[in-house]
Amino acid sequence: MTKIAIIGCGNLGLSLVEGFIKSGEAFQLTATRRNTEALEWLEQKSVQVTSDNIKAVKENKILFFTLKPYRILKVIAELSPYFTDEHIIVSTATGVTLNELKQHAGQTTNVFRAMPNVAASVGQSATCLSKNGADALKLEQVKKVFNAIGETVVINEELMESATVLGACGTAFALRFIRAMVQAGVQIGFDSKTATQIANQTVKGAAELLLSSGKHPEALIDTVTTPKGITITGLNEMEHQGFSAALIRGMITAYKKIEESK
């Protein structure tokens, strides 16, 4: 059994817990937050629910801190007397550096930053992971846990803010794209439910094509477009209206927002 505590189990924490449960792996889970009422249903899924962070630290080796950035360092500092060399600390807080985490965590060297996304709840997170000082074995342990809820990429810490925009905010960007497809689908004749079903599966299929072929999106687009055809006419009109530019500018603005708030 791998014992994991999710400290500060809100939106992201819950996505991780749901993913760990569905993964079927031998995880023994503890979830903490101050107001535990919202987590009580997890007890039926054999998750220990508590507001006692110290107990969670004492009883678990892998500790996920899914707290808000403005809160995480204070909570880690409060818990630092209970950390041992056996503990693995994983922070998902945007903008909080490994150095800051280590300073507040005391002697513990096994500190990681991770940027998963909410698709962890269905085993499909794109998780970026970076480490500072932890040994290769501990890195493998953390990767193995994240691999149970999606794909994991190890990156240098300086790319963590970029990972936030591409991987975590990216979920919302992709969802907005799908919503726009549905709206267009309704305008050209489908009811909303059917349009959603078709759009969701089409986007899932496009992503699967990319993942299984390893090809560049444009190479696959070439296989769908016919000279003077319908697809290329639609694609070019989207570009005239600034489709790619809007997406790129939105992502760069989101990135700048993280940099500004440091």
Ligand X SMILES: NC(=O)c1ccc[n+]([C@@H]2O[C@H](COP(=O)([O-])OP(=O)(O)OC[C@H]3O[C@@H](n4cnc5c(N)ncnc54)[C@H](OP(=O)(O)O)[C@@H]3O)[C@@H](O)[C@H]2O)c1
Which of these ranges, 88-96, 131-139, 191-199, 229-237, lies near ligand X under the rule CB under 6 A?
Answer: 88-96
Tokens of 9: 């189990």
Q: In what order do the strands lie in the sheet with 2-7?
A: 48-50, 27-32, 2-7, 62-65, 88-91, 111-115, 125-132, 150-154
- Total Cβ atoms within 10 A of residue 134: 18
* Binding-site size, ligand X (CB under 6 A): 25
Q: Residues 46, 23: contact at Cβ < 8 Å?
A: no
Could you give the residue ranges of the DSSP H alpha helices within the chain?
A: 11-23, 53-59, 69-79, 98-105, 136-147, 160-163, 170-187, 192-213, 217-224, 230-240, 243-260
Q: Is 67 in the site for ligand X (CB under 6 A)?
A: yes
Q: Is 34 in the site for ligand X (CB under 6 A)?
A: yes
Q: Is 125 in the site for ligand X (CB under 6 A)?
A: no
Q: Minimum CB separation from ligand X for residue 79, in Å?
A: 9
Q: Minimum CB separation from ligand X for residue 233, in Å?
A: 36
Q: Is 113 in the site for ligand X (CB under 6 A)?
A: no
Q: Residues 115, 167: contact at Cβ < 8 Å?
A: yes
Q: Minimum CB separation from ligand X for residue 76, in Å?
A: 10
Q: Is 127 in the site for ligand X (CB under 6 A)?
A: no
Segment holding 30, helix H or strand E = strand 27-32
* Residue choice 49, 88, 93, 163 for contact with ligand X (CB under 6 A): 93
Q: Is 32 in the site for ligand X (CB under 6 A)?
A: yes
Which of these ranges, 18-26, 110-118, 152-160, 185-193, lies near ligand X under the rule CB under 6 A?
Answer: 110-118
- Contact positions vs ligand X (CB under 6 A): 7-8, 10-13, 32-35, 53, 66-69, 71, 75, 92-94, 115-118, 168
